[in-house]
A and B are shown apart, each in its own frame.
Chain A
Amino acid sequence: MPALLLEIGLEDLPAEEAEAVAHAFHRAFQEELRAARIPHGPVRLFWTLRRVALLVEEIAETQEDVVEEVRGPAVAVGLDPQGNPTPAALGFLRRYGGSPQDLLRKKLGDKEYLFLLVRKRGQPVKELLEGIASRALAAVPCSKFMRWDGAMAFLRPVRWVVALWDGEVVPLQLAGVEAGRITQGHRFFGSAVELRRAQDYVAGLRAAKVLVDPEERAQLLRQAITEVEDAYQAKAALSPELWTMLLGQTEWPQPVVGRIPPEFLELPEPVVVAALREEGKFVPFTRGGRIAEVFLGFAEGEGNPQVIRQGYERVVGIRLRDARSFFVEDRRQPLSARVPQLRTVVYEARLGTLWDRVERIRHICGHLARRLGLPADLLDRAAFLCKADLLTVMVREFPELEGVMGGIYARLDGEREEVAQAIGEHVRPRSREDALPESPLGTALSLAEKLDGVIGPIRVGEVPTGSRDPYGVRRRGSAVVRLILEKGLRFDLFALVEEVGDLYPGTEPVEKVQAFLWDRLRSALEERAIPYDVVDAVMAKEDGDFLGVWERAQALSAWVHRPELSALALAFSRVHNITKGQEASGFDPALFAEDAEQELWHAYQRVKPLVEAALAAHRYGAALEELLTLKPSIDRYFDEVLVMCEDGRVRANRLGFLRELSALFLRLADLSRLVVPG
């Protein structure tokens, strides 16, 4: 089978988006091939910021045939009263090459039609490619669409197209550009390349100084970074964003190492890191928590490394000089003096200014301090100061330093170390991967800050739907849950949300916030690989102690593959089912007449205090183990005792007892929700 190469040449894509665009095109193209019934081998993807290319190593010459039902005239029109085809039906048959005995009848709505099964011959793939490629390109989602000459809107202008079928150009047009066999090499260090065959693509471009395989570029970047790490005994301060930028920025990366002028090494490490990483320019390095004196950039192409290094050092120097002047300027007033100015900055029209936000965070912190046993005065001080750095020049210039800068300035202002650390940590986690705060105060402050960012928007009606979440409520909600579960914070979140309810304007009830958080907890449990039936079991009843829910889920999960738990679940289901919907009522043990009744009653009396003690101590595994011992007694009870007996008083008494037994189980989980292997 022949090979197919399709390359789309573009003006420089945004480095941060090039990879995503390439992958989206790759996916869409394969979907189109599938939809068009074109058998093919692996579709390899190559990309740089100036091109996206697909190389199909083997592709069929023609589409697969397909049998389709084709609708003809209505039966009333196509057949005469004797059932013979009329001229209308004969015309239909002629058109598709069928004979009268092939006609089928089928109802569509309330009318019956004649149908014919028609075999459609597959078309030559070459002729289909233009449609396939244009549809795939149109399916690529871009962050922003631009127009350039009216023909089409895309992320950047399409400037050349290569379409080769082995050695032959496929005549097609894409975004108004005629395909050919000439691709563009490196902008300065390669020339145009005339490709003889599709298979020459990667090698042809390498000769023209383009590493079109992203994996090759990644290797080169990694190796250069490692070399600097080894040579300077330092660790690269990479971030996922920086890595994406570096990989997308160049077609022929050349590592260039520069030095930071010594006078700037005194600046706080996060400031230098932010200044270097800004716009994906340079890789910073650290050594023992301090900034190292080197940085690494990747030049595009084979320019003179001395010249480039000089240029890099100059921009780094200029930017760090900026940063130092921001630092000096910011230090003219202490953070605490900036706090009142937060009144002038709108946070959200309905939720007031940043000052209002800080006031609410302080309130929430007050509750948290009490519940978590933290020093309220220190936590309040940290909360009071936590947003003041938004008014500093440094954070305006380097938004990623929000919080971090506040911590640094607070320390220099002479705030207590715990306060400074809490401020510095309170915006974490910024993403799912980001680390949590380390200190207890930082944890509490982060929790309060995230909670305010969940409660506020939801109360004014900004509940996230689908992919729409302009306030990042979902991310914050997940952070709240992460903080509680991973930091082991034991308190009633629902009660807290209730208590701070009055701080918020808005139309939506507190319950909506609670339901939203409960849903985030469910996602968190599922992400942590808790089986869904265990999630259902421990979340059967709403519970503001999220940590408890998590621990109960873990306890159950530990037993989930063991037959003992399944057996207990079956036994419990009998108790649960029979008492479901029954009114609460007392019972009198004196009325237990049968042995099995007595036995379960005694077992229950023995186990109950042990289970309660275990639950109170949050030793949920132990509670489960105690409950497991009830299993034989429950089984015997249901084998021997007729609960729904004739005597109403006895029946009510038995139900009353079983209800209490059920309630004891439910404090751990609703085991009837577990899926028991059949």
Chain B
Amino acid sequence: MNTFQDMVLALHRFWRDQGCAIVEPYDLEKGAGTFNPATFFGVLGPRPWRVAYVEPSRRPADGRYGENPIRFGLHHQYQVILKPPPADVQDLYLRSLEAIGLKLREHDVKFSHDDWESPTLGAWGVGWQVWLDGMEITQFTYFQQMGGVDLDPVSVELTYGLERIALFLQGRESAFDLRWAEWLTYGELFRERERQFSVYHFEKASVERARQMFDFHEAEAKECLALGLVFPAYDHTLRCSHLFNTLDARGALATAERESYIARVRALARACAETYLAEVVGARAAP
């Protein structure tokens, strides 16, 4: 087992055996697996929840025209949610690394303090970046809040940076040289796409239209919320979030304006969380 896909399959097996539902990526642009409804809504409310999935994550500002070995406008996260977290959650995580073939006793593994925060989701947690020989390979977070709502119970979110872990497993220096399958490299799959999206996000995207689209989706989200249609509202919130990222990468936002865009997305996310708790979780709890 050495390919990118084998690594994913091994993680799937490992977390399935830990009782996780293996769900699919969500079909909208998003900056991180946290935005997938399986996480955003799953961590809300009292119901125990264990899911795992791959999430292609778009961060326009991180694009490097396909020229940086480990930075991309779109990378792949492996996301695990454990709610409530078991007491041995750190060990469990380390065992998952062993399960995909990392020999941890050969390496330097550190849990380095890094508290996570998503201002657009109104979410924060505390935890670590996990370093393997100094390289960040996982964000490990005890969520404390989501959509502005205090979580009870809390959840642990594990976000593996798959490209980086694969570098270790395959002994490569650049993600573009990774084997995705025996016959296919990561570069063949994604390098040209990386280049094009960098051109688009940094140079060509229409600021004017992105602003307009943001406004449209925001209006649509609000209308859905008024109708109690929380899932469609959340989809439009995700689109707003991605359009904000696009505007940001394009360098179109001055600081103050940037803050106001973040606040607008956060207000939507918060309303989605509250509506979900009231209408969906509340309805489930009702006799």
Contact call A147/B154, Cβ cutoff below 8 A: yes
Cβ of B106 and Cβ of A303 under 8 Å apart?
A: yes
Q: Contacts of B256 on A, CB cut-off 8 Å?
A: 344, 346
- What 0/1 pattern do residues 134 to 164 of B give for CB contact below 8 A with A? 1100000010100000001110000000000
Query: Smallest CB-CB separation from A156: which chain B residue?
Result: B126
Find B110's partner among A11, A13, A249 (CB 8 Å cutoff).
Answer: A249
CA distance A159 to B154 in the complex (A): 16
Q: Does A321 touch B at the CB level, under 8 Å? A: yes
Contacts of A282 in B (CB 8 A): 134
Minimal Cβ-Cβ distance residue in A for B84: A149
Bound complex: CA A18 to CA B41 (Å): 34
Q: How far is the CA of A14 from the CA of B85 in the complex (A)?
A: 20
**B105, A189: Cβ atoms closer than 8 Å:** yes
A 331-350 contacts with B by CB, 8 A: 344-346
| In the assembled complex, B18 has its CB within 8 A of some CB on chain A | no
A304 at the interface (CB under 8 A from B): yes
Q: Which of A135-164 contact B (CB under 8 A)?
A: 144, 146-150, 156-157, 159
Q: Is the C-beta of A472 less than 8 angstroms from some C-beta in chain B?
A: no
Q: Is the CB of A148 within 8 A of B135?
A: no
Closest to A176 in B: B87
Q: Are A311 and B126 in contact (CB under 8 A)?
A: no
Q: Which of B7-15, B111-119, B176-184, B192-200 contacts A (4 or more CB under 8 A)?
A: B111-119
Q: Is B70 close to A, CB under 8 A? A: yes
Q: Inside 8 A of A17's CB, which chain B residues have their CB?
A: 113
Are A314 and B173 in contact, CB atoms less than 8 angstroms apart? yes
* Chain A residues closer than 8 Å to B167, beta-carbon distance: 314
Contact indicator per residue, chain A 1-35, by CB within 8 Å of chain B (1) or not (0)? 00000000001111111000000000000000000
* B212 CB within 8 Å of chain A: no
The answer, yes or no, to whether A585 is at the interface (CB within 8 Å) is: no
Within 8 A of A (CB), among B64-88: 64, 68-71, 84-85, 87
| Interface residues as binary, A565-604 with B (CB distance below 8 Å gives 1, 0 otherwise) | 0000000000000000000000000000000000000000
Q: Are B108 and A311 in contact (CB under 8 A)?
A: yes
Residues of chain B lying within 8 A (CB to CB) of residue A279 = 112
Query: How far does the Cβ of A397 sit from chain B's closest Cβ, in whole Å?
Result: 12
Contact check, B255 vs A148: say whether CB atoms are below 8 A apart: no
Q: In the bound complex, what is the Cα–Cα distance between A260 and B87 (angstroms)?
A: 40
- Describe B's contact surface by its main secondary structure: mixed
B47 interface contact, C-beta 8 A: no
* Residues B70 and A148 in contact, CB atoms below 8 Å apart: no
A144 near B126 with CB under 8 A, answer yes
Whether the pair A146, B106 counts as a contact (CB closer than 8 A) is: no
Q: Contact residue range for chain B?
A: 35 or more
Contacts of B152 in A (CB 8 A): 147, 150
Q: A314-B173, A315-B135 are in contact. Are A308 and B108 (CB under 8 A)?
A: yes
Tell me if A531 is interfacial: C-beta within 8 Å of chain B: no
Choose one: A15, A159, A299, A345; the contact of B108 (CB below 8 Å).
A299
Q: Report yes or no: B144 in contact with A147, Cβ–Cβ below 8 A.
A: yes
Most buried by B among A282, A297, A300, A310: A300
**Cβ contact within 8 Å between B128 and A12:** yes
Interface centre among B110, B153, B154 (most CB of A within 10 A): B110
**B111 pairs with A12, CB closer than 8 A:** yes
**Contact-residue bracket for chain A:** 35 or more
Answer whether residue A307 sits at the interface, using C-beta atoms and an 8 A cutoff.
Answer: yes
The answer, yes or no, to whether B213 is at the interface (CB within 8 Å) is no
Whether a CB of chain A sits under 8 angstroms from the CB of B109 is yes
B188 within 8 A of A: no
Bound Cα distance from A325 to B255, whole angstroms: 23
A308 touches B112 (CB 8 A): no
- Compute how far the CA of A251 lies from the CA of B133 in the bound complex, rounded to whole angstroms: 16
Q: Which residue of B lies closest to A345 (CB)?
A: B255
Which of A15, A301, A304, A314 meets B113, CB within 8 Å?
A15
Q: Measured between alpha carbons, how far is A281 from B111 in the docked complex, in Å? A: 12
Give, as a whole number of angstroms, the nearest-CB distance from A498 to chain B.
32
Interface residue? A318 (CB, 8 A): yes
Choice from A303, A318, A344 contacting B107 with Cβ under 8 Å: A303
User: Is A559 part of the contact surface with B, judged by Cβ < 8 Å?
Assistant: no
Chain A positions 174-191 with a Cβ under 8 Å from a chain B Cβ: 187-189
Known: A144-B126, A281-B134, A314-B135. A308 touches B70 (CB 8 A): no
Checking B94, B106, B113, B254 against A307 with a beta-carbon cut-off of 8 angstroms, the contacting residue is B106
**Distance of A325 Cα from B85 Cα, bound (Å):** 41
Cβ of A312 within 8 Å of any chain B Cβ, yes or no, is: yes
A218 close to chain B: CB less than 8 A: no
Question: Are A307 and B133 in contact (CB-based, < 8 A)?
Answer: yes
Nearest CB of A to B108, in Å: 4
Of B104, B105, B133, which contacts A312 at CB under 8 A?
Answer: B133
Complex: chain B residue closest to A297, CB-CB: B134
Known: A307-B107, A311-B108. A318 touches B142 (CB 8 A): no
Q: How far is the CB of A322 from chain B (nearest CB, A)?
A: 8
Contacts of B5 in A (CB 8 A): none
CB distance from A217 to the nearest CB of B (A): 15
* Cross-chain contact B135 with A321 (CB below 8 angstroms): no
Q: Let me know if B109 and A300 touch, CB within 8 A.
A: yes
With beta carbons under 8 angstroms apart, the residue of B134, B153, B168 that contacts A149 is: B153
Scoring B115, B126, B132, B168 by chain A CB atoms within 10 A of each residue's CB, the highest score goes to B126
Q: For A156, list chain B residues within 8 Å (CB).
A: 126
Closest residue to A254 on the B side, CB-wise? Answer: B108
- B90 is an interface residue with CB less than 8 A from chain A: yes
Which single residue of chain B is at the shortest CB-CB distance from A256?
A: B108
CB-defined contacts of A346 to chain B, threshold 8 Å: 255-256
Of A13, A187, A301, A318, the contact of B69 (CB 8 Å cutoff): A318
| Residues of chain A contacted by B128 (CB below 8 angstroms) | 12
Q: Once the chains are docked, how many angstroms separate the CA of A315 from the CA of B168?
A: 12
19 A-B pairs in the complex with CB atoms less than 8 angstroms apart: A12-B113, A16-B113, A147-B154, A149-B153, A159-B87, A188-B104, A249-B112, A254-B108, A279-B112, A281-B134, A300-B110, A307-B107, A308-B133, A311-B134, A311-B135, A314-B133, A315-B133, A321-B68, A345-B254
User: Which 10 residue pairs spanning A and B have beta carbons closest together?
Assistant: A311-B133, A14-B113, A344-B254, A299-B108, A12-B111, A315-B134, A146-B126, A304-B106, A315-B135, A308-B108
- List the interface of chain B (C-beta within 8 A of A): 64, 68-71, 84-85, 87, 90, 94, 104-113, 115, 125-126, 128, 132-135, 142, 144, 152-154, 167-168, 173, 254-256
> B-contacting residues of A (Cβ < 8 Å)?
11-17, 144, 146-150, 156-157, 159, 187-189, 249-250, 254, 256, 279-282, 297, 299-304, 307-308, 310-312, 314-316, 318, 321-322, 325, 344-346
Q: A14-B113, A303-B107 are in contact. List 11 more A-B contacts (CB 8 A).
A: A146-B144, A148-B85, A149-B154, A159-B87, A300-B108, A303-B105, A310-B133, A312-B134, A314-B167, A318-B135, A344-B254
